[in-house]
């Protein structure tokens, strides 16, 4: 194998550098996407917790209404 000219080596290194930079950019984009997904999941979980509290309040109110209906029907 012969000695490679400096320009050929620089061209080869430039190609490697471009590939590494492209991979780095992809990883940054992936990290940002994962961060966005994590934030979205957090919002969904918070919403689910709020809906669970609302449902619990609704069931409690329905229970109170049913108990009052039972009490009133027992008086008649």
Which tens digits make up the pLDDT trace of 7-58? 899 999 999 999 999 999 999 999 999 999 999 999 999 999 999 999 999 9
The answer to whether the predicted template modeling score (pTM) of the entire model surpasses 0.75 is no
**Cα–Cα distance measured from residue 71 to residue 76, given in angstroms and rounded to the nearest whole number:** 9
């Amino acid at each position: 194998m012969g000695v490679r000219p400096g320009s050929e080596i620089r061209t080869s290194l430039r190609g490697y550098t471009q590939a590494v930079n492209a991979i780095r950019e992809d990883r940054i984009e992936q990290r940002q996407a994962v961060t966005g997904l994590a934030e979205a999941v957090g919002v969904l979980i918070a919403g689910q917790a709020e809906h669970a509290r609302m449902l619990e309040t609704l069931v409690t109110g329905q229970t109170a209404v049913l108990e009052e209906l039972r009490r009133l029907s027992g008086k008649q």
